[in-house]
Amino acid sequence: MSYDYLDNLKETMEFANSPRGNFIRAKALYLGIQKLCEVEGVLREVSDICDMQHLLDVLHPGMEDLMKLTNPWERRKEVN
């Protein structure tokens, strides 16, 4: 089997632009923001958090609320 870069790129772009690809990208942004917000003090990467939040808000509107509803860690916080 030979590797065809252009076929692989096309397949990857189709996935990235699919509903599943958009969901995965939104989830990665959401979880990345959550993790970066755990850092305190001067080591917190505020500009990265802001940029990632902007991408999540603009490219994936409403997904942050969905992540909060479906994320088991968020539900665990509410119980405690």
Give pLDDT, residue 76.
53
Task: Report pTM.
Answer: 0.79
Longest CA span, the chain: 53
- Tell me the pLDDT band of 77, cut-offs 50, 70 and 90: low
Average pLDDT over residues 3-10: 90
The pLDDT score that the predictor gives to residue 71 is: 72
The helix/strand/coil state of 16 is helix
Which pLDDT does position 31 carry in this prediction? 94
Residues, the chain, total?
80
Q: How many whole angstroms separate alpha carbon 26 and alpha carbon 16?
A: 11
Cα 3 to Cα 1: distance, rounded to the nearest angstrom: 7
Please name the amino acid found at residue 38: E
- Note the pLDDT of residue 26: 95
Q: What is the pLDDT of residues 14-72, one digit of tens each?
A: 999 999 999 999 999 999 999 999 999 999 999 999 999 999 999 999 999 999 888 77
